[in-house]
Structure 1
Amino acid sequence: MTTVKAVSGSASEVASAKASPRERLLDAAAELFEREGVGVGTDALCRAAGVSKRSMYQLFDSKDAIIAAALERRARAVSAFLLPPPDAPGSPRERMLYVFRRLEEAAQDPGYCGCPHVSTLVELKDLGHPASVVALRYKAETLAFLRAEAERAGAADPELLARRLALVFDGAATRAGTGVDRLDGLALSTAAALIDAACAGR
């Protein structure tokens, strides 16, 4: 959930590591789209990646395909950062709160731009767009993780708890990413209160 630089390296760092043109395009796209939105033009994208337009269209059929592939690449890194490893120790409560601790950690970065999945969905406003499909899949995976842990924790209604936690996550990420608010433990404490209330007496 950290910035693109922290998760996958900036475009310049990737270029210095002699990455392939495809990798440079995807990393540059992830960085630019997160910082400036998916409306960034192909000229700016090619300049940032150090790749010609001809090469870009040899690698990808369209800009929409680049947006989707860049988000897919980014989303894998985000999930690896946010979710605890399947075999990591900890109670279901702690595993759910792990997600919010990571969110709070990411939000401290001055370059934090919020959840890339939510940003993409809001900007595109098209649930059928290839990138929206990617975003929805990863949001569903996070929700499924929360639901499974809520069930293990003995929540009275695991589905409802998971949806409430997802709501807190997306709201907190958006407020922090837009600079409207500082989390300072607020997301974590809110999630903990929801979990404890849902699992009271269990």
Structure 2
Amino acid sequence: MTRTTDPAPPRDRLLRAAAELFHREGIATTGVERLCQVAGVSKRTMYQLFETKDALVAESLAACGPAVVAAHLPDGTSGLDPRERILAVFAHLDELSGSPEFRGCPFLNTVVELRDPDHPASVVARSYKQRLTDFFAEQARLAGAPDPATLARQLTIVYDGSTSRAVTQGAGLDGLAVLTAGALLDAHLRTG
């Protein structure tokens, strides 16, 4: 029997452990046994709480999603104009990418690893990625972009590409994400 000193309910411990392990080590390489050990629960308890590992993957991503999104977007009290709010997202990514612990975007990683657009976790991941695109679209609209929806999708591509590059290279972006997003914003806002 697994024991833990964490007073949180087993479900919460499993969701936290799953979010951490799946992002750090990958979904396929994180076995149920390891997950249960880290969470301090038995396999029996896990399967009583979650029908399958896939269900746990989806629920853990949904549970950690709001905090991930909030950490990457400037809050409404930042005092930044719309262009600066967009660039703040990329500056944060530039900063994170220089850390040896940087593992990329948990939503993008999940979809890439699962390679199944209909998997429940892929659906959750897409919904959170859409929140980023919606944020970009709203800020682009406020900045006066002539086609905020297209600009938002382009900015999301820059974000995802920057994330992938940092993980692939194992090195920080050194300002490249901000520079690229800024050039894209300037091109769109000049034509407005």
Fold shared per TM-score above 0.5: yes
Q: 2:115 aligns with which of 99, 102, 125?
A: 125
Partner of 2:9: 20
Partner of 1:190: 180
Deviation at 1:180, TM superposition (A): 4.4
Contact 1:84/1:95 (<8 A) preserved: yes
1:92 lines up with 2:74 in the alignment: no
CA RMSD of the aligned region, Å? 1.6
Deviation at 1:144, TM superposition (A): 0.8
Provide the rounded CA distance (Å) in 2 between the counterparts of 1:96 and 1:76.
18
Say which SS state the counterpart of residue 182 (structure 1) adopts: coil
Provide the rounded CA distance (Å) in 2 between the counterparts of 1:152 and 1:46.
47
Provide the rounded CA distance (Å) in 2 between the counterparts of 1:108 and 1:19.
33
Say which SS state the counterpart of residue 199 (structure 1) adopts: helix
Deviation at 1:156, TM superposition (A): 2.2
Runs of 4+, deviation exceeding 4 Å: none
Deviation at 1:86, TM superposition (A): 3.2
Aligned length, in residue pairs: 188
Contact 2:97/2:163 (<8 A) preserved: yes
Contact 2:87/2:181 (<8 A) preserved: yes
Partner of 1:56: 46
Deviation at 1:201, TM superposition (A): 6.1
Q: Deviations over 1:27-84 (max 9, x none)?
A: 1111111122111211111111111011111111111111011111221111010112
Q: Deviations over 1:81-136 (max 9, x none)?
A: 01122343211101111111111122122111001111100111111111111100
Provide the rounded CA distance (Å) in 1 between the counterparts of 2:88 and 2:168.
23
Provide the rounded CA distance (Å) in 1 between the counterparts of 2:191 and 2:155.
20
Provide the rounded CA distance (Å) in 1 between the counterparts of 2:47 and 2:134.
36
Any stretches of 5+ residues in structure 1 without a counterpart? Answer: 1-14
Say which SS state the counterpart of residue 178 (structure 1) adopts: helix
Partner of 2:34: 44
Contact 1:115/1:177 (<8 A) preserved: no
Q: Which has the higher mean CA deviation after the structures are superposed, 51-60 or 82-91?
A: 82-91
Letter in 1 for 2:82: P
Provide the rounded CA distance (Å) in 1 between the counterparts of 2:109 and 2:5.
29
Letter in 2 for 1:37: G
Deviation at 1:17, TM superposition (A): 4.8
1:169 lines up with 2:159 in the alignment: yes
Letter in 1 for 2:122: S
Partner of 2:56: 66
Letter in 1 for 2:7: K
Identity of aligned residues (%): 50
Any stretches of 5+ residues in structure 2 without a counterpart? Answer: none
Partner of 1:29: 18
Q: 1:31 to 1:150 in 2, by over 3 A?
A: same
Q: Which has the higher mean CA deviation after the structures are superposed, 55-64 or 79-88?
A: 79-88
Letter in 1 for 2:19: A
